[in-house]
Structure formats: C-alpha cells, structure tokens
Amino acid sequence: MDADPVEEMSFEQALAELETIVRTLEQGSAPLDESIELYQRGDKLKRHCEARLKSAQMRIEQIALGPDGTPAGTKPFDVD
C-alpha cells in the first residue's frame, strides 16, 4: 500500500481517506489481508483526526461575560 504518511496529512485529507476505508470495509469486498491493512491504516487515521481535533479545541477560546452581561475578555474553551 503506497499511501501518504498519516502524520503529514491535514484533518480533511485524513478524514476523507478514513471514510473511503470504512466504505470499503463495510462492503466486505476486500480480501482478508487487505482488509487487515485497511483496518490498521484506518485506526492510524482515526487517531490522527482525534489528535487534530483535540489540538484545535485547546486553541479555541470563548468570550467571557462580565457581571453586567457585556464581554469582558476571553477564557479557554471548556468542554463541559
């Protein structure tokens, strides 16, 4: 399998390839050995996408409102 290194892919590239792999595996048309390789590649792509999303989320800030309801600056994004 001659594919781009996962760590060099953008989020969008990795997600598109992951979607293609999922469709291929769902169809069940690939031979067993190829299916295993696709699954392993898909796992790497999934982990890469999750890491990119987490990194982006950490950079997001939200507007903090003061007691009177007006914007008073920013604070880190809170997942909760």
Residue 34 predicted with pLDDT over 80: yes
In the predicted model, what is the mean pLDDT of residues 1-28? 92
C-alpha–C-alpha distance, residues 47 and 73, integer Å:
33
pLDDT one-digit tens code per residue, 40-58: 999 999 999 999 998 887 7
Query: pLDDT class for 80, splitting at 50, 70, 90?
Result: low
Task: Look over the chain and give the mean of its residue pLDDT values, rounded to a whole number.
Answer: 88
The pTM (predicted TM-score) of the whole model is 0.73
SS3 of the chain: the string is CCCCCHHHCCHHHHHHHHHHHHHHHHHCCCCHHHHHHHHHHHHHHHHHHHHHHHHHHHHCEEEEECCCCCEEEEEECCCC
Q: Between residues 39 and 1, which one has the greater pLDDT?
A: 39
Domain range 6-76, its CATH number among 1.20.120, 1.10.287, 1.10.10, 1.10.3470: 1.10.287
